[in-house]
Amino acid sequence: MLIVTEETCRKVMTRPLAYEAVEAVFGAMARGDAWNFPVVREAIGHADALYGFKSGFDRASLVLGVKAGGYWPHNAGKGLTNHQSTVFLFDPDTGQLSALVGGNHLTALRTAAASAISINHLARKDAKVLGMVGAGHQSQFQLRAAAEQRGFERVVAWNYHPDMLPNLARVAEELDLPFEAVSREELGAQADVIITITSAHEPLLMKDWIRPGTHIACMGTDTKGKQELDPEILAAATVFTDEVAQSITIGEAQHAVANGLIAKDHITPIGAVINGVHPGRTSPAEITLFDGTGVGLQDLAVASAAARDAGEKGIAEEIML
Ligand code: NAD
């Protein structure tokens, strides 16, 4: 059994590796070769923590496992990340534990890979301006991964807490992209691609602010009650997601579905585009939207790639159970 620590994950997991692993599993999900099991998420009545499991099986790449962890809101005061997780991988032939993989760094990379995949498959090829809504921990990973997908010339950004924007500005500077803090309306008027990655519980972008041809990767809404967009945007857009069942229950589409603006069949798994079954964007004026809810199979895919790479490089500890 391999132990792949957070530090080892940082050494072996790259953005291209994460992109490749997540794209492959989205394709497998859309073919019916991989599926996620029901998510467990519970308030444990201690330390204000939310704890749970995300699990699944990818029969195409034979990856079986579970990500266990959750959200401990008081960790920051202890110098720890609030989101904590560990991935357990099992041998699908025997059920034996094959690897324990630190899940914190991998979660950020697999989430950024998902929106990057959506940009690559759905954004206009001539997209020049990237709009960032959110400036927290995930946003920096999102910006780096998105910047690799198109020839962006500048970044415009808005955040609820403006004092956090310099963290994102520093990443843009590293990437040699001019950065400007703007209002939400200006962001909609200027951006060709928009990433939302906040913990908002109400719409941050209104439909009238979004231009034809925009691609939106809506990444922050991963729980019932969270919301980042005016539901009318989903009604006007061609909507894609990682998993339709999550999109309509805990993803951004929960609100448009609850309001009766769209039905489940308005939403396409992005794997169908990856597999060439759905054309994706069909016109330069179309608004495309990716509802990235975060599925367990994404975690298992990147954890498996990290374990394989660390094993091959001999930098994972091997123990007998
Ligand atoms: P963070 O705590 O580091 O940052 C939170 C962000 O939300 C900041 O930009 C903050 O200013 C903003 N924010 C807070 N309250 C707000 C409000 N009331 N209105 C608007 N914005 C507000 O969190 P993070 O780790 O960067 O995660 C951001 C979001 O992404 C969270 O909701 C998290 O659950 C979600 N997430 C989704 C996935 C996925 O796969 N879809 C994966 C990881 C995290």
* Segment 307-316, tens digit of pLDDT: 999 999 999 9
pLDDT at position 286 is 98
pLDDT tens digits, 238-248: 999 999 999 99
Residue 296: per-residue pLDDT: 97
Q: Give the tokens for residue 61.
A: 């790449």
* Cα–Cα distance, 234 to 257 (Å, whole number): 9
Pocket test for ligand 1, best of 71, 139, 187, 198 (most atoms within 8 A of CB): 198
Active site residue 67: yes
Global pTM reads: 0.97
- CA of 71, closest atom in ligand 1: 34
CA angle 114, 119, 123 (to 5 degrees): 155
Residue 266 has pLDDT above 90, yes or no: yes
Backbone angles phi, psi at 77, to 5 degrees: -65, -20
Asked if pLDDT for residue 257 goes beyond 90, the answer is yes
Contact 167 CB / ligand 1 (< 6 Å): no
Q: How far apart are CA 41 and CA 47, in angstroms?
A: 15
Find the 219 Cα to ligand 1 centroid distance in Å: 9
pLDDT digit string, tens, across residues 172-219: 999 999 999 999 999 999 999 999 999 999 999 999 999 999 999 999
**Mean pLDDT taken over the chain:** 97
Tell me the CA–centroid distance for residue 270 and ligand 1, in Å. 22
Q: How confident is the model at residue 197, as a pLDDT?
A: 98
**Are 130 and 146 a contacting pair, CB within 8 Å?**
yes
Rounded Cα gap, residues 230 and 207, in angstroms: 6
Q: Is the CB of 51 under 6 A from ligand 1?
A: no
Pairing mode, if any, of strands 50-58 and 63-71? antiparallel
Q: Sign of the C-alpha dihedral, residues 104, 110, 116, 118? A: negative
pLDDT at residue number 321: 81
Domains of the chain from N-terminus onward: 2-107+297-318 (3.30.1780.10), 123-295 (3.40.50.720)
pLDDT of residue 132: 99
Q: Is the CB of 246 under 6 A from ligand 1?
A: no
- From residue 188, give the alpha-carbon distance in Å to each of 36, 191, 299: 34, 6, 31
pLDDT of residue 76: 86
Per-residue pLDDT tens over the stretch 140-154: 999 999 999 999 999
